[in-house]
């Protein structure tokens, strides 16, 4: 009789759930830092398209050595997929053949990226959805520093892709294409870059570029097709920063402002670099970073909210399911970084009060819970 009562109670509970239309809740998104290990994808981007998470990055497993004996071998860009940012991640799939042609210089990408061992980096995938032509096409951007060394106005490239897994570039049906981006605000840009979404519905994303020379940041709105810049729309000399790299950013709806982060200062394959920030009320004006007062004070002391980037080097920002995450390369400090891991840390912006010279304790509005 007791077993029968238990079964009856279970039946009533199930019936109640079905009657009220209740369903099992999806697992809550992760809110703590995690490390992606054993995946040969570096200077990476994380993105969600549909119900799948994607990780894009530079590959080293074929033996590429940055600024090693030239020529070296360029391994190309890869993409992996997972049901959640924590994985499990699929084996990387190449986005395009390194032996295919670099249309802007009529040579192979292998030659452009490995001929002088300068490499090609920063694969960033965006989707033309909700802005521009809004046709759902995927566009891969990346930088090729040798192009700038050989006289191009910038080091960036944009390829139309068959889908989020590629293939990308000319001949990749049905949307394969190639464009050498026309960028006036980001003219002379040859370093790391990231994208930032506008808070204005229907507005195009913007590229945050690192300019040659003093490694300052500029921000330029993309054109209708997302393959170049919207002429004259953007800002140079963001927050007066110099010597920085690895930029990324997001619109913080809680405080109604844009936030960008960056490695401060920039260096190659470094571990333990400071992580800085800047904010603005609008995307193309008003960017500021905290300053200091006194004699001999470094310009970056208050704008750096973490002294070591969890022991790695900041790469860019990924906004997943509404939450911004700081992507960090845990470099080994070698010319080949096949075994380096990627660390991912949630970011929360909490406004603080205070100005340099007010005699009060300074508490940065961002922090990393490594």
> pLDDT-based confidence at 14, cuts 50/70/90?
very low
Higher pLDDT, 211 or 314: 314
> How far out from the chain centre does Cα 104 lie?
25
Burial pattern 23-61, b for ≥16 Cβ within 10 A else e, equals: eeeeeeebeebbebeebbbbbbbbbebeeebbbbbbbbe
Residue 351's CB is within 10 A of a number of other CB atoms, namely 10
- pLDDT > 90: percent of the chain: 82
Residue 217 DSSP SS3:
strand
**H or E element, residue 234:** strand 229-235
Q: What are the pLDDT digits (tens) for 323-343?
A: 999 999 999 999 999 999 999
Report d(CA 270, CA 293) in Å as an integer. 29
Residue 312's CB is within 10 A of a number of other CB atoms, namely 26
Q: What is the pTM of this model?
A: 0.90
Task: List strand residue ranges (DSSP E) for 33-188, in order.
Answer: 34-36, 42-49, 52-58, 77-82, 93-94, 101-102, 107-108, 121-127, 138-143, 156-161, 177-179
For residues 41-68, give the mean pLDDT: 97
Q: What are the pLDDT digits (tens) for 276-315?
A: 999 999 999 999 999 888 888 887 889 999 999 999 999 9
- Residue 177 token pair: 């294409």
On the 0-12 / 13-18 / 19+ scale of CB atoms within 10 A, 335 is middle
The strand pair at 121-127 and 257-264 is best described as unpaired
Q: What are the pLDDT digits (tens) for 95-152?
A: 999 999 999 999 999 999 999 999 999 999 999 999 999 999 999 999 999 999 999 9
């Amino acid at each position: 009789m007791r077993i029968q009562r238990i079964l009856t109670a279970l039946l009533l509970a199930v019936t109640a759930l079905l009657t009220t239309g209740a369903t099992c809740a999806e697992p809550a998104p992760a809110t703590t830092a995690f490390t992606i290990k054993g995946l040969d994808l570096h200077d990476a981007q994380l993105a969600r398209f549909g119900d799948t998470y994607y990780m894009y990055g530079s590959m080293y497993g074929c033996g590429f050595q940055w600024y090693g004996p030239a020529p070296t071998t360029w391994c190309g860009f890869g993409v992996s997929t997972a049901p959640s940012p924590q994985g499990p991640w699929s084996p990387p799939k190449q986005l395009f053949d390194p032996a295919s042609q670099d249309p802007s210089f009529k040579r192979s990408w292998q030659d452009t990226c490995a001929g002088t061992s300068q490499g090609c980096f920063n694969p960033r995938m965006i989707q033309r959805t909700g802005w521009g032509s809004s046709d759902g096409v995927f566009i891969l951007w990346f930088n090729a520093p040798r192009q700038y060394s050989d006289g191009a106005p910038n080091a960036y490239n944009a390829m139309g892709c068959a889908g989020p897994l590629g293939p990308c570039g000319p001949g990749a049906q049905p949307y394969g294409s190639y464009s050498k981006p026309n960028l006036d605000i980001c003219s002379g840009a040859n370093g790391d870059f990231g994208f930032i979404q506008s808070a204005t519905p229907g507005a195009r994303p913007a590229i945050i570029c690192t300019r040659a020379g003093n490694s300052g940041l500029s921000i330029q709105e993309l054109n209708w097709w997302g393959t170049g810049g919207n002429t004259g729309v953007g800002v140079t000399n963001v927050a007066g920063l110099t010597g920085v790299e690895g930029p990324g950013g997001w619109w913080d709806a809680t405080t109604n402002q844009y936030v960008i982060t960056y490695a401060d200062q920039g260096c190659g394959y470094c571990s333990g670099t400071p992580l800085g920030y800047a904010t603005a009320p609008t995307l193309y004006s008003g960017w500021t970073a905290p300053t200091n007062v006194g004699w001999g004070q470094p310009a970056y002391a208050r704008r750096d909210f973490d002294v070591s980037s969890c022991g790695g080097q900041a790469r860019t920002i990924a906004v997943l399911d509404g939450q911004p995450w700081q992507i960090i390369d845990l470099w080994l400090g070698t010319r080949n970084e096949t075994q380096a891991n990627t660390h991912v840390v949630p970011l929360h912006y909490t406004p603080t009060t205070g100005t340099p010279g007010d005699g009060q304790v300074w508490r940065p509005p961002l922090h990393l819970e490594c």
